[in-house]
Amino acid sequence: MGHPFPIREIARQAGLSEATVDRVLNGRGGVRESTAREVRQAIADLDRQRTQVRLVGRTFMVDIVMQAPERFTTAIRAALEAELPSLHPAVLRSRFHFRETGPGGELVRILDRIARRGSQGVILKAPDVPEVTAAVGRLEAAGVPVVTLVTDLPASARLAYVGIDDRAAGATAAYLMGQWLGERPGNILTSLSSGFFRNEEEREMGFRSAMRARYPARTLVEIAEGQGLDATQYDLVRAALERDPDIRAVYSIGGGNIATLRAFDDLGRDCAVFVAHDLDHDNTRLLREHRLSAVLHHDLRQDVREACHTVMRAHGALPPAGPTLPSAIQVVTPYNMPPQAAV
């Protein structure tokens, strides 16, 4: 009776003594046929529950490394903490390495320190620059699987990317923008936190391509490097509005939306359509106040859960799965906000 399970585990599953299970497995006799059936059933049950058996008592230490505004890292931390019960019977412990901005060398030092110290996985949101790609390679060489979250590093040795199809998201924003602006005149301000994040670059490409195909007469005005922070975003938006009196709409790719709207208000300008990303605390409030037209959102809890499962699969604790599919893009308006939206 072939099986991969310890006698102790089979005995516990069957509710029998280890000695009885040993006699059944080795055909020594002296047991009833009904008892042998109980042992065979226990092995079949364990085989179906193989995933849970592998997870019992397992603890995974994962490092979460992110360059992002505080409002986003707060949302990520909350999503992970909400998902921890779903990972049972495994236990996941996490170390957080969050920063809003800073030199690339600092992020590389964090990743290299993790490679030296050891970790069972890194969940990473970082700029797509050569020095970060090289650091991911060193992590992989040290046996630490890396999963990129929200923004990808496609040229790196990362194990998988978890997030939305950003070109599709940008095209969706263009479709909404064109429909809502209709025949009204006006230019569109596109705002990136940084040109070094792959997700923002692809959203901008998707937006620009769809606008060029469907609404070629619209002028797009781009600003970048506000880092999604209100202090720097305000100055960039205000300067763009002062240069161009025809800006009437905003596609916010990288955040800083409170500052963007304050710049419109301070100049007495109206923003007819405003499409943003992610239901963080700021955007939830702005959407409830009807200051945003729509938010393109994806379920961060689902993304974080998939990232954790990917790390666990890398250690053989979960069965293999197919390629990770892009997360669903949700178009959220003031009238269909999900119940779990931040308050």
Q: Where are the alpha helices (DSSP H) in 191-335?
A: 198-214, 230-243, 257-266, 281-288, 300-314
Residues 6+ apart with CB under 8 A from 50: 319
Rg of the chain (C-alpha set): 26
Residues of the domain holding 124: 59-163+300-327
User: Peptide bond before 89: cis, by omega within 30 degrees of 0?
Assistant: yes
Asked if 235 and 189 sit in the same domain, the reply is: yes
CATH number of the domain within which 84 lies:
3.40.50.2300
Mean pLDDT, residues 196-215: 96
337 in any annotated domain? no
Asked if 261 and 182 sit in the same domain, the reply is: yes
Instruction: Identify the top-confidence range among 13-22, 97-106, 108-117.
Output: 108-117
Question: According to the model, what pLDDT value does residue 89 have?
Answer: 77
Whether the Cβ atoms of residue 49 and residue 55 lie closer than 8 Å to each other? no
SS3 146: strand
Asked if 40 and 82 sit in the same domain, the reply is: no
Lowest mean pLDDT among 3-17, 103-117, 181-195: 3-17
Q: Which two tokens stand for residue 75?
A: 């949302």
Which residue carries 């109980």 as its tokens? Answer: 38
84 in any annotated domain? yes
Asked if 175 and 277 sit in the same domain, the reply is: yes
Asked if 24 and 101 sit in the same domain, the reply is: no
Question: According to the model, what pLDDT value does residue 343 have?
Answer: 43
Contacts by 155-160 with C-beta closer than 8 Å and gap 24+?
155/128, 156/132, 158/124, 159/310, 159/311, 159/314, 160/310, 160/324
User: What are the angstrom distances between the C-alpha of 308 and each of 19, 54, 119, 129?
Assistant: 39, 16, 13, 24
Summary mean pLDDT of the chain: 91
> What does the pLDDT look like over 45-65, one tens digit per residue?
777 666 555 666 678 889 999
| 88 against 69, higher pLDDT | 69
CA 79 to centroid of chain Cα atoms: 10
Looking at 20, 37, 55, the residue that finishes a domain is: 55
> What does the pLDDT look like over 247-272, one tens digit per residue?
999 999 999 999 999 999 999 999 99
198 in any annotated domain? yes
Asked if 257 and 313 sit in the same domain, the reply is: no
Residues 6+ apart with CB under 8 A from 164: 199, 298, 326, 327, 328, 329
Asked if 305 and 289 sit in the same domain, the reply is: no
Question: According to the model, what pLDDT value does residue 49 have?
Answer: 60
Q: Which DSSP symbol is given to 83?
A: H
Asked if 51 and 173 sit in the same domain, the reply is: no
Question: According to the model, what pLDDT value does residue 31 have?
Answer: 86
* φ/ψ bin of 113: left (φ > 0), alpha (ψ from -120 to 50), beta (otherwise): alpha
CATH number of the domain within which 32 lies:
1.10.260
SS3 194: coil
Asked if 99 and 119 sit in the same domain, the reply is: yes
Asked if 66 and 149 sit in the same domain, the reply is: yes
70 in any annotated domain? yes
Asked if 27 and 68 sit in the same domain, the reply is: no
pTM: 0.80
Angle formed by the axes of helices 33-48 and 7-14, to 10°? 110
Q: Based on the structure, what is the number of domains in the chain?
A: 3
336 in any annotated domain? no
Question: According to the model, what pLDDT value does residue 257 have?
Answer: 95
Indicate the pLDDT class of residue 338, thresholds 50, 70 and 90.
confident
Asked if 323 and 269 sit in the same domain, the reply is: no
